[in-house]
Structure 1
Amino acid sequence: MSGFLIAGSAQRLSLRNFLINRGLRIVPALAVDIVVCSLIIGPIITVVYHADYFTDPRFFKYFLNIVGWIHYELPGVFQDNPSQRVNGALWTVPWEIFCYIIMSFLMVTAIVKTRYKLLAVTAAYIVIGLIVQKMPYLFPGSIKPIARFLFMSRGSQLITAFMMGIVAFQFKAVIPHSRWLFAAACLVCVVAIVTLDSRAVESVINRPIVITSLVYITVFIGLTEVPIPAFFRKGDYSYGVYLYHDPFLQIWISSFPTVFLYPKYGALALYLVGLPSALAVAVLSWHFIEKPILGLRKKFSFIAQVRGVEDGNQAGRGSNIRPVAVKS
C-alpha cells in the first residue's frame, strides 16, 4: 500500500522534500520505539542483572535499528518465549528504506511520472526474478547470492508490492473500482492460502497473481467509503500499531505463558489483549511523537506551507487520493 500512497507526493515534491517527508514520517517514531524497548521494557523484563544488561553488546547494537541495521535481541529479554525477538516486525524496515531508494531513482529519472515506463520497469523486475528462480545457471556464482537476495528473498516480495502499488496509482483512473473484482481478488488469495504452503505463496512465480490481488484488495478497501468510528478519525495509528504490536505480544506471552501459549485458543486470546495494548501506545505515539514531528514538514516543503499539515488519519499518507473512475 505504501507505493500507492506515496506515489502522489513523489510526483509533486522535489527529491529533497520527498526524502525529508519520508524521514520525518518513519525515523522519529521508530527511534522512540527503540528507546522504549531498550530502556523501559528491556530492564523490566530482563532476567539478567541490570549491570550486565546495560553493558552487554546486544544492548548497544539494538540502537542500530534506528538506521535500519536490524538487531532483534536484548540481553535476557523474553528468554523463555518461543521467540526471543523483541520486535520481529522490524525485519521490514531495511526493505522499506530500499523501496525509498528505488523511488528516488524513479523520481530522478522521471520514470515515476510516465506510467508505461513504470509498468515496464515493474514487469522487468518480475521477469528477472522468474529468471533467477527458474534459470539460476545463467548467473555467475559470485552474483547468484545477490540475485537471489534481491529477487527471491522474503523481503523482495515487498519490492514487488511497492512497485505494483505505484503502478496502481498511475493507472487509478482506468482500474475499475468493482466489487466483483474485489471478490475475485479475495478468492485468489483464499485459494492460495488453502492450497499452497507459505513458501509457495511467496514464491516468485506466484507473486504476480497473489500480490496483484492483494494490491487490488488493499486499494479497494482504502478507497471505499465506509463508516469509521470517531476514535480512528482522530489520528493515523497504523504506524504505531506496526511498531508496538510485537513487543506487546511478547510481553503478554512472557507474563502469562500458560494462557497465551495454550493450544488453539491461546493465540486468539493473545491478539484480543495484545492488539488493544499496542493500539493504546500507538495513540500516544501519534499525538505526542508522530503528529508534532510531521508539523516540521512546513519548514521544508512549499506545498506543506500552502496546504498545512493535515490532521486526522490521512496525515502524511497521500490524502489527496480519490477513488478510481469506474465503480460497479
Structure 2
Amino acid sequence: MRLDKDKLVPILEMMGYGTLNGTDVWKKASQTPGEYVFWGVDFKKNEVFKWVEDHREYDVPGDQTFVELKKLIGSSCEQSGEPDIDEPFADQSKEDCPEGSTGEENASPSYENNATPTKLLDLIHGYVGNDVLEVFGDTGSGKSKFAMALAKEAIAAGKKVFYLDTERNLTEADIAGLKGCEYKYTPVIEEIDSICQKLPAVDVVIVDSIGFPILTSYARLSVKQKGDALLKLIAIFGDMKNWAYKNNGIVVVTNQPESEFNKASNHVLRPFGDKSQFAAKEIWKTEIVDRKPVYTNIRISAFRSRSVGHRTKIADMKISSNGVEVV
C-alpha cells in the first residue's frame, strides 16, 4: 500500500510537521534541548520512522509521538480501504537497497535524504519550519560564524543559498569558502531594502546583519528619520517572512542588541528594531561562555520561542582553528 500524500500532508502540517521545498520527507523535531531526535513520514520510501542520532527506527511502542503518528497513518489507510500498518515499513525500504546494505546508511536526517548531513539546517527547521529565525547577540559572540556554518552546510548538501553581508565581517578566505553561494555585500540600507524585496528563489537566505546598517547612522537621524528607519526595518522583516512562505525556504537574520543607553539596570536588552522582532518566528541569542587563545565556546539559547522557555539552551558552538562546530 502507498501513503496518500495529498490527504496526509494537511494533517501533518496541523500537527507541527514540516518539510523543505516540498520534499517527500515530513518531520517534527524533538523540543528537548540537546536532543537530536525527530519523527517523520517518508512518502518516497513509504515509511513512518523515528530518527535517533544516526539511524531510523520503525517500531517504537513506548514513544507516544511515534504511536500517535502510526495511528494517524493507520486511520488514513482504513478510510481509504487499504490495510493497516501494524507492521513497520522497514522491510519495504530495504527492498530498494543494494545487496548487503541495511538501508540505515541511506537514511539521513537531512532534507531530501541528502548524502551530506544537514544537522544545523534540521535543528533550525525543527523550530521555525519555513520561516524566519533571528539570531542576535553582542559583537564577537559568534553570529556571523553561525551564519557561515549554516551556509557551508547548506551548500555542501546541494542547497541554494543567498548570503547578504551588510557588515563585511567576512574575510576573503571566508567568502572563498562560500563557493557555490550567491554572495552580495552592501552596507546601504536602501540597497538592502531593495534586495529584500526581490530575494532570489533559493533554499536558504542569510542576512548578516539587519540592524548594523541602521545602527551606524542612527545617532545622526532626526526623530522622524529614526521612526522611518524602524518602519523600514519592520517592512524588510515582512518581506523576508513573505519570501519564506512563498518559496518554502528558511531565512536566518543576525542582529545586534538594542542600545543600553537610558535603560534601567534590570532591563533585558532585546534585538535592535523595536516591533520588527515579532516578525521572526524564533529569536535566539548568542553569548560567550568561555574564551581561550585557541577557542571560544558560545551558548545559543532561546530568547523568544514558541517551543521552549526563555533562555533554554538550543545548542553549543565552538569556534577554533579547526572551524565552527555546533552541537
Same fold per superposition (TM over 0.5):
no
TM-score (norm 1): 0.28
- Comparing both chains, which one has the higher relative contact order based on Cα–Cα distances under 8 Å and sequence gaps of 6 or more? 1
Greater share of helix:
1
